[in-house]
Amino acid sequence: MAHYVQTELLSQGPGWSLTPLGAGQFGMDTALIRNTKHKYSHLYRDGVTDKATNTGAYFKQLRLRIRIGLLMSFIVPLAALSVYFHFQFNFTLKETAKLNLNVISESQRNTIDLFLQERVVNIFSLFHSVEFSLAPSIRNMQSYLQNLRRVSDAFIDVGFLDADGLQIGYAGPFPYLQNKNYANEEWFSDLMRQDRNHYISDIYLGFRNKPHFTIAVRQMIDGNPYVMRSTLDPDKFYMFLRTINRGKGVDSALINKAGAYQLVDPDRGKLFALSDFIPPGIKGSGVQEVNPNGHSILTAYAWLKEAPWALIVREPLNIAHAQIYRTRKIIISGSVLIIVLTAAAIWSTTSKLIGKAQAGAEKHQELQLQLLHAAKLASVGELATGVAHEINNPLAIIMASSGVIRDMMDPELKLDGSPEHIRKELDNVDAAVLRARGITRQLLDYGRKTPPQPVLCDLNQLLDEVMSGFKERELKVANIEIIRDYAPDLPKTLVDPDQIRQVFLNLINNAGAAIDGSGTISISTSSGERQIHVTVTDTGCGMTFDQIKKIFDPFFTTKQEGKGTGLGLSVSLSIIKSMGGTIDVQSMPGAGSAFTISLPINITQGVKDAGPHNPAQRP
């Protein structure tokens, strides 16, 4: 199984540094570096990071525990009682409101049923009037309509139909309905099929193209069915519905089985529009609490017996129980005020006590940090002593080469003083100087850092700059293949170009060192919504889980003794951290390793674009 590690960054502050050169290249005493590594890593990492984290975490937990304990002792019982009475009050209030509203809806339903029954009886009575005739005249029909309007002004007209649905008599404001055939009308078909001898239709437009509803009754005369029907004005019916409303803020409406409004307040809905509440079933009554638009409303329903309609009665809780709500608010406000004052007193007291204790601990910790810093300086001094000893080697080479050049210039010694021989000695001097410079830079990188110079950079281009020239040829000679897989649309990000080159070079150097013989190094880039990812993968020896846990520690190295200082990944990690990124590691022994750098896509307006990068331009 491959090992995955998300790096934990050591707090080192911002900075940049060059890739540490291997101590083995200059014959450095690697035992000295290892001893310094153990001193510094234990003193600094464990002494500073762990203690600082543990101290802050300890007082944070202590403060939290004390506060929770006091709050639990004083506030929780009071809060529990308040919550209990609050829910009990709400439950009782809602049940009372539901019961009251259900009584209102059933009472209004019975009143509406009685109104419709009276209208049915009014129409039936026309069959038994003195003027009734199977071939009614216009005068007869007008007399029928006058009789109906005497009992209710909701009647609009009256019509008499034979068994075929032909309206053979009519009186009302729409004379063109005389001799209209209603055989295909839904209300006529239902009346002729059903057992009940009267029918109340839904509100519809019909031939007159105006909202109305029909009450029709069927009477058998000489074995043939005849129908007397009358249409009623919904506005008159609605006014009747409003007269039986009870309670402030209570409104009523009638809907059919499909939920379409039959009668409704214009402020609540439109005729024929669908209601936002459709009651269950087709009979009975009930109450439900609904929350349209976040407002609690009790909605009662009661199905009519005379028509396939449901009466919907709504009552907002905040109107029906305003006084009770005000009392409840006073109780809740008082409870909350007591809880807040108690919590504030606990919060203030614990903050003062724990603050004093934490200040003492932080002062003690500050003294420890000073001691650890002194230990770091001592370790730097110890490392500098060894480095100074190692610098003697290149100095000796420089002195020897300069002596040879002097001898070449002495005619008595008769040495070959040709430019070629002098250039050869000068090359030895240059090599020794570079070796000495590498040792001193390694020491400086460990001891201090310089501020970064961030600019907008193209990471694909920086990777090519790192790989171009000598490095790529060196890997090619070592029979190591380089595979590039760059994202073509990789966005630019704000980084220090020299620092990020150093990180890339260090990862590529490590990948090459991990490959024994031929192999492959793959370099890929990609971008997500907020991050850019650069992955360096090798087919080298890989690492164990224990090695992965330590690779970012200063002076830890997986290379052979004398081949590296163990500072490369530690410095790289510090650089990536200063840029707000992370380094992820995936490795398995014998299968190679993959290092993934994740950097935020950080583009700040007003920052100059780096353009084509030139590593030599760093001051």
For the CA atoms of 541, 547, 548, 554, the dihedral, rounded to the nearest 10 degrees, stands at -120
Instruction: List pLDDT tens digits, range 82-116.
Output: 778 777 877 777 777 788 888 888 999 999 999 99
Reported as a pLDDT band with limits 50, 70 and 90, residue 451 is low
Would you state the pLDDT for residue 14? 36
Would you state the pLDDT for residue 617? 42
Amino acid at 612: P
**Edge-to-edge order in the sheet of strand 251-256:** 261-263, 251-256, 309-316, 297-303, 285-290
Computed over every residue of the chain, the mean pLDDT equals 78
How many C-beta atoms lie closer than 10 Å to residue 473's C-beta? 10
Percentage of the chain surpassing pLDDT 70?
78
Reported as a pLDDT band with limits 50, 70 and 90, residue 155 is very high
Reported as a pLDDT band with limits 50, 70 and 90, residue 535 is very high
DSSP notation for 152-194: -TTEEEEEEE-TTSBEEEEESS-GGGTT-B-TTSHHHHHHHHS
Alpha carbons 93 and 91: distance in angstroms, whole number: 5
Q: Which structure tokens are listed for 279?
A: 């009651």
Q: Is residue 235 pLDDT above 80, yes or no? A: yes
Tally of CA atoms within 13 A in the half-sphere of 19 that contains its CB: 16
Would you state the pLDDT for residue 564? 56
Instruction: List pLDDT tens digits, range 237-262.
Output: 888 888 887 666 788 899 999 899 99
Would you state the pLDDT for residue 427? 84
Return contacts of 462-471, CB within 8 angstroms, 24+ apart.
462/497, 462/500, 462/501, 462/504, 462/613, 463/504, 463/523, 463/525, 463/534, 465/501, 465/613, 465/615, 466/501, 466/504, 466/505, 466/508, 467/508, 467/523, 471/505, 471/508
Reported as a pLDDT band with limits 50, 70 and 90, residue 598 is very high
Helix (H, G, I), strand (E, B) or coil at 141: helix
Helix (H, G, I), strand (E, B) or coil at 559: coil
Q: What is the mean pLDDT of residues 442-453?
A: 55
Would you state the pLDDT for residue 123? 94
The answer to whether residues 593 and 514 touch, using CB atoms and an 8 Å cutoff, is yes
Reported as a pLDDT band with limits 50, 70 and 90, residue 126 is very high
Would you state the pLDDT for residue 389? 54
Reported as a pLDDT band with limits 50, 70 and 90, residue 364 is confident
Would you state the pLDDT for residue 438? 66
Between these two residues, 22 and 120, which has the higher pLDDT value? 120
Would you state the pLDDT for residue 373? 47
Would you state the pLDDT for residue 167? 94
Q: What is the mean pLDDT of residues 140-147?
A: 93
Between these two residues, 450 and 304, which has the higher pLDDT value? 304
Alpha carbons 426 and 418: distance in angstroms, whole number: 13
Would you state the pLDDT for residue 610? 57
Reported as a pLDDT band with limits 50, 70 and 90, residue 452 is low
Alpha carbons 539 and 475: distance in angstroms, whole number: 13
Percentage of the chain surpassing pLDDT 90?
25
Instruction: List pLDDT tens digits, range 395-414.
Output: 878 887 788 788 788 777 77
Instruction: List pLDDT tens digits, range 38-57.
Output: 443 343 344 444 445 567 77
Q: Which of 402-416, 479-493, 604-618 has the highest mean pLDDT?
A: 479-493
Would you state the pLDDT for residue 566? 59
Positive or negative, the CA dihedral 256, 258, 262, 264 is positive
Q: What is the mean pLDDT of residues 436-444?
A: 66
Instruction: List pLDDT tens digits, range 175-193.
Output: 999 999 999 988 999 999 9
